[in-house]
Structure 1
Amino acid sequence: MALRLTPTSGAPGEASPSAALGNILPFRRSGAEADPPRRIHLSPPQLAGGEMQALEETLRSRWLAPAGPIPRAFEAAFAEASGFGEVLATSSGTAALHLGYRILGVTPGDEVWAPSLTFVATVSPAAQMGARITFLDVEPGSWTLDPDLLRDALAQAAREGRLPRVVVPVDLYGQCADLDAIVSACDRWGVPVLSDSAESLGAQGRGRAAGKGARLACFSFNGNKIITAGGGGALVSDDPRLITSARHFSMQAKESSPHYQHETLGYSYGFSSVLAAVGLVQLRALESRVAARRAVFARYVAGLADLPGISFMPEPAWGRSSRWLSVMLIDADRFGADREVVRGALEAVRIESRPVWKPLHLQPAFRGSRMIGGNVSIGLFERGLCLPSGAMEPGEQARVIEVIRRLARA
């Protein structure tokens, strides 16, 4: 039977490949006889085994609300996993950041400094609190907040009498920021550090766990993270006073009284027992998940690094990334296709990939915010592509690699 070859199309409603890519995309038989390939997601939730049993036991216990023994058991387990002495589990990573800003005293008009290359949740709570956001560039060796740039900017701000209320480094895509250098620069001027470690549970920097060394650190258990509870987050510290204060605010700032007494206003940011039960099971798999993600990254390097114009997110000698996401850089002139052509080709065969974070100083929501530096962040956004990094069969990762190799200039 004669075959008619046609480019693979995406699922209904998904982007179709450009006609210009028709001669380099994988082909399949046309008609109903050919099933579309299974979609490969960027970082889908992964079960560890035991979640269903934990949920059944939680439901039978009737502890469903953010109270009781299960959230506290999760907090104790997370303290051990993260290396911090004090943990408050929250309804989301963004809630944890909001509480961090609150207890560090951010008020309207204060300055908050953070890298531009990050997800909006890093600074959105501070902006919503009325703070002015200053963005800083990242260093090319780690893609995280540039300590030298920060040090110079703080010295200038001190001379001008406009030091920030808090500096928020970000552990990006599983890679820790250089907290030793960042905290040292901030300590000179008495500026506290709140680490956004939402993406980097299981990573290490200078032999310490992600966020360790900051006054406070925040984590996320969203569905795409290396450890997920289906949602939730955590605010952590080695200062019990800070977490005690955060816990008070997370429970609507209720005072100890037989009636509802409120001296100030708080939030409903508790972590439910249901999510905590899932998270407890997930935490047991943390080390194996890190090893698996690092193996995914290594296979991408082995399969693509020989191509002209292809490089990968570096890992500084002082850090050990969890490789939550495997991130590739594309030099279009050398490779023969730019980032968007590669992303479109992957999407055409039902493979999800995402551009590197668009720098926040380029986002309309932050129009007018101050930016210090920026060329590194812009260049990474223009050339960076996050590849599928979750649990994949070997053949599925080979599909990703094959599509990219087909696009390379001969």
Structure 2
Amino acid sequence: MKNLLRTLRSSTYVAIATAFVTSVFITSSVKVFAAASFEVDHQPDFGQLKGFKGSELCIVADNTQQYIAQNPDDEKAVHRGAVIGNNVSLERVNETLAFLCETYRSDVRAGRPSRLHDKAFVKANFDFVRWYPDKATATKIASSSTNEVKSRLLNNIPEQQLFLTKYYAKLLDGSSVQTATFDQALYQLPFDEKGLSKQAAELKKDQLTRYKYTRQEVIKGALLEDKLAKPLVWMTEEALHDVLLQGTGVLQVDGNTRYFNVHRNNGIAYDYHIGKREQARYWYFAEVPSILGYGQDLPNKIAIKPQVSLAGNVRQLGLGKLMLLNYKVRDNTTQSVNSEGINSEARLAILADEGGAFDNNLFQLDLLAGSYRGWQDYYAANKHLPDYADVWILLKKINK
């Protein structure tokens, strides 16, 4: 999984293969599907709820609800998620998010353990919709990919589980000035786009600097030479590629921690089939107070939290879906992943982020793991998380 530790992050790649997506919302026994499907599950089987904080789940729920309320015209993300089925409504999604926080806050006031970690409570208060993956699209992408690890992981998606990738904000070192070591910049939007809304900029795209240069041209100094954009911070070229891939950078600069988030890109799609250094897509950044998820533009992006935030196909699923992920984990007291030390574990998380990687992608979710220096730190903290998981979309029971 090392080559895919941040596979499919918000603002990353486009899954260019497409497939017909079949969506149903019926009660039936478990079946095998080649395309994505959603079914009511009256007897969900999942493990102990753990690995997340109710407080942070509530924060993401609140922030997502606020975005939905303030952006009713966002047709891409603010909708019920027709692909899931007719029993889902935007009102019910909002009620589900509100119920999460009502439950968490009530438990805090009562001084009792969070019921969001209680299997019986979750089963009693939510309807479960089982999500079966679109294996046809995953297989098609795998067949055309030159990355052996990626192809293997996509080909091995189980019939009834989703591909579960993880992403993190990389902790990096940077400099406020250019040096021999820190010789690449994260750039703010070019000067000729200052004050333009995203929509206004789109109308002038043929005239704007942002659309003129590839990643490779920017790295060679196209913006710096003519002073076309302001450098926000300086880093190594390797760090730059990482931040462009992940969409978020957490940098130690002159003794301070600073956060940077993607703002707008050069209009070139991410190519799923090539490596990060070969990508022509380039992102301009802005400095922000925390890690951010979905939003039409930077000022209204959703502030998200680790271990409770998911990136996925917002266009087809709709923002704010509460999901339960169930997977097998190894008991730390055992040495073999094939031993009886394999246990089932589950967590709740909210769809609050997206990315070009999820266009026509109904076989995968991406979990925000946290902030780490690199692979070793990330792996040490998250090695128990597998590559595949059972996934249910949860909706608060009606009149419950």
Shorter-normalised TM range: under 0.3
Larger Rg: 1
What's the TM-score, normalizing by structure 1?
0.27
Task: Give the structure with the larger helix fraction.
Answer: 1
What's the TM-score, normalizing by structure 2?
0.28
